[in-house]
C-alpha cells in the first residue's frame, strides 16, 4: 500500500530533483508512445532530443526558440506566484507584435536608428494593454482572469488575421495574407553571425537576471510571494492584492508583447497570420518546469525549445506528426505536477498510520 505522509518542512532536494524525475518519466512514456507508433523508441528519442543539438547551428536555433519562451515564462511565473493565472500570454504576444510591428509598417521606408527602440516600447505597451484588460476586469468587476485572458487571446489572433488579410496586407505581395517585410531599421540585429540568434536572446538573459532579483531580493517580489501563499497574511500587513494583480498582468503582458515583437522583428521579419507556434501556452509549462524560479525557467525554456526542434526534425526524418510536440509538453506538465507532491510529502510503503481517504 502506497501512501503520502506530510513532511514538516519542504524538501529542498526534491525541489531540484522533481523536475528531473518528471523529465525522465516523460522520456520513458515518450518511448512507449513511439514504439506504439511503430518507431524504434531509442531512434525516435535520439531524433527528438539529441539530433537537433548535435551541431552548433542546432544549438543556436535552440536559443532562438527558447528566447520567447523564457521571456514570457518569467512574466507569467510572477503572476502564478501571486495566484494570478494569466493564461492569455499568446494573445498578449500577438498584440505586442501588432503594436510594434504596426510601427515598422507605418515607417516601412524608415532608416532611423530610433525605429527599433520605439518598436520595443510599443510592443511592450501592446502586450501590457492586452494584459491590463483582464487586470481591470478582475480588480474592478471580480471577473476570473483565467477565462478573460484566454478569450482575449482568440480576439487578438482574429484581429491579427483581419489586419494581414485586410488593411495591412502587402500591396506588392501577390495577395498573400502577409504584411510588407519590415525595413532593415526595424529588424533585430543578429548577434552571432551565421545564425538567427538575435538581440532578443541577449534581452532574455537580462530578463532572467532582473526576474531573479525582483523575485528573490526585492520587497515587491516578497509581496508577490506572500500574496500568493497567504492572501490573508498579505492583507494583514497591507500588501494589496489588487496591486499585485495589476503588476503581474501588466508585467506579464509587457514581456509577452516584447517576445511577440522579437519574433516578428527577428526570425519572421513581417506580420503574418501565424506568428507563434503556441509560445504563449508552452511558456506556462516552462514556468512550471522552472518551478516558477527565473533560473529554473532559463533551463526549462531550453528544454521546451528542444521539444519544438525535435518535433520539427521528427516530422521531417521520421514522418511523425507535429502534434507529438504538444503531446510531450502535456505529459511533461502532468509529471511535473505529480512529482511536485514529493516536495511536500514523503511516499511511504506499508500499513497506513492514518486512514487516508485517497488510498
Q: Do the Cβ atoms of 134 and 144 come closer than 8 Å?
A: no
CB atoms within 10 A of CB 305: 25
φ, ψ of residue 292 in degrees (nearest 5): 55, 25
60 versus 161: smaller Cβ distance to another protein:
161
Residue 111: helix, strand or coil by DSSP? coil
Spatial separation of the C-alpha atoms in residues 48 and 177, rounded to whole Å: 32
At its nearest, how many Å lie between another protein and the CB of residue 34? 11
Cα(32)–Cα(304) distance, rounded to whole angstroms? 20
Residues 126-155 that bind another protein (CB under 8 A): 137, 140-144, 146-148, 150-152, 154-155
Choice from 67, 139, 179, 329 touching another protein (CB under 8 A): 329
Among 209, 210, 316, 337, binds another protein (CB under 8 A): 337
Nearer to another protein, 57 or 229 (CB): 229
Closest distance of CB 284 from another protein, Å: 6
Angstrom distance (rounded) from CA 272 to CA 277: 12
CB atoms within 10 A of CB 83: 15
1 binds another protein (CB under 8 A): no
The contact mask relative to another protein for 210-249 (x = CB under 8 A, - = no) is ---x---xxxx-x--xx--xx-xx-xxxx-x---------
Kindly state the smallest distance separating residue 77's Cβ from another protein, in Å.
12
Tell me how far, at minimum, the Cβ of 119 lies from another protein, in Å: 24
If one counts every other C-beta atom within 10 angstroms of the C-beta of residue 209, the result is 12
Site for another protein in 245-304 (CB under 8 A): 281, 284-285, 288
What's the rounded Cα separation, in Å, for the pair 237 and 250? 23
# residues contacting another protein (CB under 8 A): 75
Q: Angle at CA 298, nearest 5°, toward 270 and 144?
A: 75
Query: What is the nearest approach in angstroms of another protein to the Cβ of residue 158?
Result: 4
Contacts of 260 (CB under 8 A, 6+ apart): 68, 92, 93, 94, 95, 96, 97, 100, 123, 126, 127, 275, 276
What is the CB neighbour count within 10 angstroms for residue 155?
15
Ranges within 26-65 binding another protein (CB under 8 A): none
If the CB atoms of residues 1 and 140 are measured against another protein, the closer one turns out to be 140
Site string (167-206) toward another protein, x via CB under 8 A: ----------------------------------------
Q: Site residues for another protein, window 87-126 (CB under 8 A)?
A: 87
Does residue 173 contact residue 180 with C-beta atoms inside 8 Å?
yes
Binding mask 338-357 for another protein (x = CB under 8 A): x-xx--xx-------xxxxx
Decide whether 265 or 289 has the Cβ nearer to another protein.
289
Q: Tell me how far, at minimum, the Cβ of 321 lies from another protein, in Å.
A: 4
- Looking at beta carbons only, is 234 or 268 nearer to another protein? 234
Q: Considering the complex, what minimum distance in angstroms separates the CB of residue 320 from another protein?
A: 9
Residue 299 is placed in which grid cell? 533551463
Dist CA 204 CA 192 (whole Å): 15
- Under the binding rule (CB under 8 A), the answer on residue 323 touching another protein is yes
> How far apart are alpha carbons 47 and 325 in whole angstroms?
13
Nearest approach, Cβ of 344 to another protein (angstroms)? Answer: 8
Amino acid at each position: 500500500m502506497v501512501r503520502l505522509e506530510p513532511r514538516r518542512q519542504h524538501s529542498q532536494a526534491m525541489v531540484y530533483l522533481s523536475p528531473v524525475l518528471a523529465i525522465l518519466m516523460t522520456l520513458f512514456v515518450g518511448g512507449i508512445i513511439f514504439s506504439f507508433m511503430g518507431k524504434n523508441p531509442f531512434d525516435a528519442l535520439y531524433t527528438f532530443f539529441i539530433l537537433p543539438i548535435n551541431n552548433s547551428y542546432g544549438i543556436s536555433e535552440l536559443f532562438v526558440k527558447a528566447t520567447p519562451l523564457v521571456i514570457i515564462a518569467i512574466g507569467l511565473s510572477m503572476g502564478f506566484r501571486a495566484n494570478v493565472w494569466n493564461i492569455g500570454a499568446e494573445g498578449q504576444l500577438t498584440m505586442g507584435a501588432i503594436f510594434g510591428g504596426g510601427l515598422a509598417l507605418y515607417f516601412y521606408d524608415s532608416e532611423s536608428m530610433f525605429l527599433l527602440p520605439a518598436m520595443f516600447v510599443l510592443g511592450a505597451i501592446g502586450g501590457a494593454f492586452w494584459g491590463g484588460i483582464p487586470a481591470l476586469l478582475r480588480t474592478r468587476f471580480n471577473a476570473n482572469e483565467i477565462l478573460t485572458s484566454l478569450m482575449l487571446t482568440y480576439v487578438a489572433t482574429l484581429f491579427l488575421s483581419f489586419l494581414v488579410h485586410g488593411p495591412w496586407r502587402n500591396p506588392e505581395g501577390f495577395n498573400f495574407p502577409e504584411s510588407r517585410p519590415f525595413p532593415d531599421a526595424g529588424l533585430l540585429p543578429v548577434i552571432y553571425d551565421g545564425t538567427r540568434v538575435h538581440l532578443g536572446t541577449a534581452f532574455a538573459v537580462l530578463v532572467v537576471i532582473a526576474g531573479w532579483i525582483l523575485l528573490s531580493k526585492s520587497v515587491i517580489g516578497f509581496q508577490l510571494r506572500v500574496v500568493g501563499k497567504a492572501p490573508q497574511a498579505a492583507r494583514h500587513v497591507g500588501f494589496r492584492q489588487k496591486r499585485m494583480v495589476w503588476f503581474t498582468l501588466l508585467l506579464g503582458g509587457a514581456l509577452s508583447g516584447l517576445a511577440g515583437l522579437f519574433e516578428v522583428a527577428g526570425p519572421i521579419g513581417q506580420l503574418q497570420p501565424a506568428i507563434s507556434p503556441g509560445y504563449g501556452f508552452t511558456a506556462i509549462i516552462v514556468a512550471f518546469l522552472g518551478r516558477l524560479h527565473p533560473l529554473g525557467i532559463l533551463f526549462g525554456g531550453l528544454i521546451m525549445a528542444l521539444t519544438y526542434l525535435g518535433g520539427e526534425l521528427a516530422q521531417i526524418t521520421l514522418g511523425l506528426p507535429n502534434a507529438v510536440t504538444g503531446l510531450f509538453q502535456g505529459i511533461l506538465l502532468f509529471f511535473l505536477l505529480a512529482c511536485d507532491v514529493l516536495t511536500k510529502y514523503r511516499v511511504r510503503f506499508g500499513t497506513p498510520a492514518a486512514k487516508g481517504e485517497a488510498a
